[in-house]
Amino acid sequence: MEEDGKFLIQGFGGRRIIDGEIRVNGAKNDALPGLAAALLFRDGLRLSNVPALKDIDGMLELLSGLGVGWSRAKPREYQLVTTKLSAAKLKPEIAKRLRGSMLLTAPLLARLGEATFPHPGGCVIGARPIDIFLEGFQAMGVKLHKGEKIYRLRVPSGRLRGARIFLKNVSVTATEAFLLAGALAHGETVIENAALEPEVTHLAQFLRRAGLRVRGIGTTRLSVVGAKSLSGLDLNYRVIPDRIETGSFLILGALAAKRLVVRGVVPEHNRAVVEMLRRAGARLEVGRDSIVVQAPSAGQSYLPLEVKTHEFPGFPTDLQAPLTVLLTQAVGESTVFETIFEGRLLHLHTLREMGANVVVHDPHRATVVGPTPLRGRHVYSPDLRAGLAYILAAVVAEGESVVHNAHYVERGYERVAERLQTLGVKIVKE
Ligand code: EPZ
């Protein structure tokens, strides 16, 4: 992971130059549970439309460490072979920086009756506790041993038992983990206060396609009756389009496009961001699998917004940082209420250094008063979504910016410099 990669960007100074189209890739946060689900199948699983991202490489390396064979038939298409799992221990140096690694613990417990792993890392956006996972696994019959930095989990009875689990916080990956654990558990697992994200729905639908009795799909009460064994032979997990990449490009278009067509999208996964951008004065046309976005017409200004992040179908926390760039250009006072994470407003200090008028009231609330011109400068990505926000700010700014820590951005956005160059953005990766 090259720590010193950076993006050099020449700003448009608020002019609307972008004209073109861009296709979204498979969703990182759908590929991760898909790769974890492969462990449930005694023979293996095929996955398609898998994005080429560092987090995917990390998951594949963790899977190899467990004895999973994998081959890439062609770009974005993987065949995983799980006939002989040889270990139930996640490589700590990888797992501790990859939050998605928590998803592997569930199928390991379900398939092998044990799992050893470090507290997973991920971004700096918040504490990222795993208490919901640990409590739910214990309800399913898991014995927990917490070492210095390592957790050792095992199933003394040899097989997980179905349990009724209420999520004290709506957690996407915890919901996915209990679906995966319940898939091979004895009896029914009920997940209450379950997440409604499209990636959760996709996983639940896939498990139903694998032959399991799954109920409550699309509701906050999910249930699955476990099987003794599963075969993935004639199944293909097709990763759904990335709604966060979609939203990121729509915000770019709202900021700097004469006309931008975002292709290969699932419109109903993007209602919140489309609604927000329309309220801000951008023009959007939603098609069957594409969305056209245009900045407000000449002479029209951006309107201020009240942004409150919320679990799906509300406005996604992963798009909060990118949207705040647009708030700096809106005429008047906008408010930001980040309800999910306590460390996800840090990017506002950097936007202030670029010229934004920002007040951060507490770890969850801030005010942005616009419009303020932004000036290019050196900025340092703390996480993948703030990193993307800095690229958007650099595009809008006057002058040149250098966005450091490119590897963070590349965790969630494939070939971002090349793809933005095709739209006329003056960006190069060093
Ligand atoms: C998923 O994280 C996404 N990651 C995140 O995307 C996304 O920001 C988040 O959902 C919210 O939409 C994946 O799907 C791989 P959480 P997830 O940590 O499910 C609390 C990105 O940029 N909680 O469960 O891991 C937690 O404190 C990433 O792609 C507990 O209390 O989110 C938070 O308040 C960043 N105990 C809430 O749940 C637990 O055991 C959700 O956080 C687990 C979570």
Helix axes 54-65, 102-112, angle to 10 degrees: 30
Sheet holding 77-81, edge to edge: 69-74, 77-81, 44-48, 236-238
Look at residue 268 and tell me whether its pLDDT is greater than 60: yes
Give the pLDDT mean for 236-251.
98
How many A from CA of 195 to the centre of ligand 1?
10
pTM over 0.85: yes
**Which ligand 1 atom sits nearest the alpha carbon of residue 130?**
40
**pLDDT for residue 119:** 85
Greater confidence, 149 or 235?
Answer: 235
Residue nearest to atom 44 of ligand 1 (CA): 171
Across the chain, what does the average pLDDT equal?
Answer: 96
Tell me how far the alpha carbon of residue 3 lies from the centroid of ligand 1, in angstroms. Answer: 24
The residue count of the chain comes to: 430
Give the per-residue pLDDT at 2.
53
Q: Rounded to whole angstroms, how far apart are CA atoms 190 and 175?
A: 10
| Stretch 5-17: mean pLDDT | 94
Burial of 324 (0-12, 13-18, 19+ CB in 10 A): buried
**Spatial distance between the Cα atoms of 122 and 71, rounded to a whole number of angstroms:** 26
Residues linked to residue 257 through DSSP beta bridges, in sequence order? 18
What is the number of the ligand 1 atom nearest to the C-alpha of 32? 15
CA of 129 to the centre of ligand 1 (A): 9
The answer on pLDDT for 153 being more than 80 is yes
Q: Which residues line ligand 1 (CB under 6 A)?
A: 28-29, 32, 99-100, 123, 126-133, 169, 171-174, 316-318, 340, 384-385, 412
CA-proximal residue: ligand 1, atom 37 (nearest) = 171
Q: Cα(225) to centroid of ligand 1, in Å?
A: 25
Of the pLDDT bands very low, low, confident and very high (cuts 50, 70, 90), residue 230 is: very high
Residue 298 has what pLDDT?
83
What is the pLDDT confidence band of residue 123, given thresholds at 50, 70 and 90?
low
- The predicted structure's pLDDT at residue 147: 86
**Is 212 a residue whose pLDDT tops 60?**
yes
Mean pLDDT (whole number) for 373-386 = 94
* In the chain, % of residues over pLDDT 90: 91
Atom in ligand 1 nearest the alpha carbon of residue 195:
19
